[in-house]
Amino acid sequence: MLSVSENQLIGTIPKEIGSLRNLTILSLSNNNLNGNIPSTLGEIESLQRLYLGGNNFHGSIPNEICLLSNLGELYAEQNELSGSIPSCIENLRGLQEMDLTHNKLAFIPSSLWNLETLRYLSLSFNSLGGSLDPNIRPSRVLEIMDLSWNQISGSIPRVIGSFQSLTSLNLSRNSFSGPIPNTMGNLITLDFLDLSHNNLSGQIPKSLEALSHIQYMNFSCNKLAGEIPNEGPFMNLTSRSFMENEAFCGNPILKVPPRASNSSKKSKIKINFRYILPVIALTLIFSIGVYIVKRNHGNNVQSQNLIDSYATTGHRMISYLELLRATDDFSEANLLGVGSCGSVYKGVLSDGTVVAVKVLNLQLEGAFRSFDVECKVLRTTRHRNLVGVITACSNPELRALVLHYMSNGSLEMWLYSHNSCLNLLQRIGIMIDVALALEYLYYGQLEPVVHCDLKPSNVLLDEDMVAHVADFGIAKILAENKTAIQTRTLGTIGYIAPEYGSEGRVSTNGDIYSYGVMLLETFTRKKPTDEMFSAEINLRQWVSASLPNKIMEIVDGGLLRMQNGSGMVTSQSILLAILELGLECTSDIPVERSDIKKEVGVQRVRMENLIAIVHFEIK
């Protein structure tokens, strides 16, 4: 065995390595080696395991690799390899595991599917194109197949349903089209299925209801339509698995319309007019009302105008008395938390709806302005990763917002609770949700919104552990085509970007800095204000000095205990990528930080792909 992984080696692999004829294991992973993979590797006939991942190898995979008849494991992930996987790959008759992720490979030879002993195949994050051969040979032993993040087109072969040992199938982020084969219902051992972000059409086959072991399914971002199956594993799915498709119907819990009856289809025109006419009338009433208000009440208080607007946008108004009843006179037993501008209480409305009531502290300087800003932001934004507003209440004694109740508390509570611990999959999912919220705030409307106070206590979790960004009390709304404004209102120490304190300059770059701090905190469980940090070293510098070799020393110990020793190599590479993103987002120079539309968009989908990997490492 020759193992020199993670030693910061540079240069190329010498051709003379082929003289090590009796070598069974060669591990060169996670160094800085470059150049081509030497063809002389094919001369090591006794080689059983070859690990070349995490280097800078380029060029094609040499055909001579196919001479390694005893090879059982081939790992060459995270390099710059290009061209095709050698068509002679079928000669590796004992190959059980192959990982070529994060390269530039362009083609899958049909001979690959002749590997009868292959159990693990990961080719994600390449440039693989073309279509899958509809007559590929089904495997009886392949357990994990990951072809995500490529450019594969055409239909999903029906023969995929004959891969009888598959436990994980990830075909997401490709260009697959046509229907989902109903033969997939034969994959009874499957517990992970991701078909998201393709061009699949038609209905989800009811045969998938037979997948009794499934724990994760994702059909989002396709062109699927029709009724969503409602038995078997579909009973435990949320709307997240079906978002951004054509025209689903089914269980209202999934946030899709109920199945339409024949009579409802016939009355489609009537239904349209039933909704259109009130909207037209409401618009006219609103326009007339605005005119009257402007003419006769031009000096009204701005916050009252904002509150009144809820009545014209479908939100029912709520009285002070009803809020008192809902919160048991704002009982301390119902107090959920205290923020910079007020307190939040749990309440139950008269119709049984459980809500969170945010009550403004009117004694604080700037309290009314904070309330006005939050009203305006929440009134004009709608996104699944923002805390939704139900209604508002405004009178001389009270300013309150009634918000959707988040039953699982805040990210801060989960990070620092002694009774709870988030696993790797959950932490990644939460940070994806926050990134999605930011992307919407900056690019989902004409006037970008800068949150200005991103931190774990302002990230709330619903019953499905989906994250929602909250508390827009000091948010800034940028005028169209304006990238920054000045402010004297600062966020929370430790999370605010350096330019906030020195220049008072608010821009989306400041939120990205806060997002980066949250990333580092979420995976190290160290607050930026922890007593271990000082003027000499902060959270960012501590993490930077520990990467890559000491990464497992700074990661949250509770997270490592949950890993239970399994999949630690994969987990380490995942954590390294996440912490490096955190460092990139927290650069002291704003222009060096990731652009949210380009970088967070890329990192968001990178993290989504990691969920598939983590799922198998942590279970």
Torsions phi, psi of 166, nearest 5?
-60, 130
* pLDDT over 50 at 390, yes or no: yes
pLDDT band at 352 (very low <50, low <70, confident <90, very high): confident
The amino acid at residue 266 is: K
Looking at 221-353, which runs of residues are DSSP E strands? 223-227, 247-249, 335-338, 342-348
Of 90 and 231, the one with more pLDDT: 90
Q: What value does the mean pLDDT of the chain take?
A: 80
Range with the lowest mean pLDDT among 97-106, 285-294, 311-320, 335-344? 285-294
Helix (H, G, I), strand (E, B) or coil at 61: coil
| Mean pLDDT in residue range 166-186 | 93
pLDDT band at 30 (very low <50, low <70, confident <90, very high): confident
Per-residue confidence (pLDDT) for residue 162, from 0 to 100 = 92
* pLDDT over 60 at 51, yes or no: yes
Tens digits of residue pLDDT in 485-499? 545 556 788 888 887
∠355-360-363 over CA atoms, to 5°? 160
Of 451 and 117, the one with more pLDDT: 117
Range with the lowest mean pLDDT among 284-298, 368-382, 489-503? 284-298
Most confident range, picked from 226-235, 420-429, 444-453, 516-525: 516-525
| Mean pLDDT in residue range 201-205 | 92
Cβ neighbours, 10 Å, residue 497 = 26
Per-residue confidence (pLDDT) for residue 506, from 0 to 100 = 74
* pLDDT over 60 at 107, yes or no: yes
Does 411-618 match 1-128 at the fold level?
A: no
Distance CA 123, CA 105 (A): 9
Per-residue confidence (pLDDT) for residue 570, from 0 to 100 = 56
The amino acid at residue 308 is: D
Distance CA 527, CA 547 (A): 18
What DSSP state is assigned to residue 208?
G
β-partners of residue 460 are 410, 468
* pLDDT over 50 at 287, yes or no: no
Catalytic residue among 146, 433, 453, 471: 453
Per-residue confidence (pLDDT) for residue 81, from 0 to 100 = 95
Helix (H, G, I), strand (E, B) or coil at 113: helix
Per-residue confidence (pLDDT) for residue 604, from 0 to 100 = 53
CA distances from 178 to 91, 150, 229 (A): 33, 17, 19
| Mean pLDDT in residue range 342-348 | 90
The amino acid at residue 68 is: L
Per-residue confidence (pLDDT) for residue 273, from 0 to 100 = 38
Range with the lowest mean pLDDT among 234-248, 320-334, 442-456? 234-248
The amino acid at residue 549 is: N
The DSSP secondary structure of 416-478, one letter per residue, reads: H-SS----HHHHHHHHHHHHHHHHHHHHSSSS-EE-S---GGGEEE-TT--EEE---TT-EEP
**Which CATH number does the domain 300-404 belong to among 3.40.50.10420, 3.30.200.20, 3.10.310.30, 3.40.1390.20?**
3.30.200.20
* pLDDT over 70 at 317, yes or no: no
Could you tell me the two tokens for 317?
Answer: 């108004």
CA distances from 376 to 243, 312, 389, 477 (A): 27, 14, 11, 9
pLDDT band at 95 (very low <50, low <70, confident <90, very high): very high
Contact 390, 355 (CB under 8 A): yes
Name the one residue in this structure whose structure tokens are 């989960």: 414
Per-residue confidence (pLDDT) for residue 6, from 0 to 100 = 74
* pLDDT over 70 at 394, yes or no: yes
99 is catalytic: no
Of 282 and 241, the one with more pLDDT: 241
- Give the CATH H-level superfamily of domain 1-128: Ribonuclease Inhibitor (3.80.10.10)
Contact 70, 45 (CB under 8 A): yes
| Mean pLDDT in residue range 455-462 | 93
| Mean pLDDT in residue range 447-459 | 89
Supply the pTM of this predicted model.
0.52
Of 576 and 460, the one with more pLDDT: 460
CATH fold of 411-618, please? Transferase(Phosphotransferase); domain 1 (1.10.510)
Range with the lowest mean pLDDT among 6-15, 309-318, 494-503? 309-318
Contact 110, 86 (CB under 8 A): no
Nearest to 359 by CA among 334, 379, 385: 334
The amino acid at residue 423 is: N
Range with the lowest mean pLDDT among 31-40, 136-145, 311-320, 432-441? 311-320
∠252-253-257 over CA atoms, to 5°? 20
Distance CA 227, CA 209 (A): 13
Could you tell me the two tokens for 45?
Answer: 């006939």
Instruction: Compute the CA torsion angle 424, 425, 428, 432 (nearest 10 deg).
Output: -170
Of 386 and 342, the one with more pLDDT: 386
Per-residue confidence (pLDDT) for residue 265, from 0 to 100 = 40
The alpha carbon dihedral of 375, 376, 382, 386 has a sign of negative
Distance CA 18, CA 16 (A): 5
pLDDT band at 563 (very low <50, low <70, confident <90, very high): low
Pairing mode of beta strands 144-146, 120-122: parallel
Helix (H, G, I), strand (E, B) or coil at 57: strand
Pairing mode of beta strands 144-146, 104-107: unpaired
Percentage of the chain beyond pLDDT 90 is 39
Report domain extents, the chain.
1-128, 300-404, 411-618
∠54-59-60 over CA atoms, to 5°? 100
Residues 6+ apart with CB under 8 A from 29: 5, 6, 51, 52, 53, 54, 55, 75
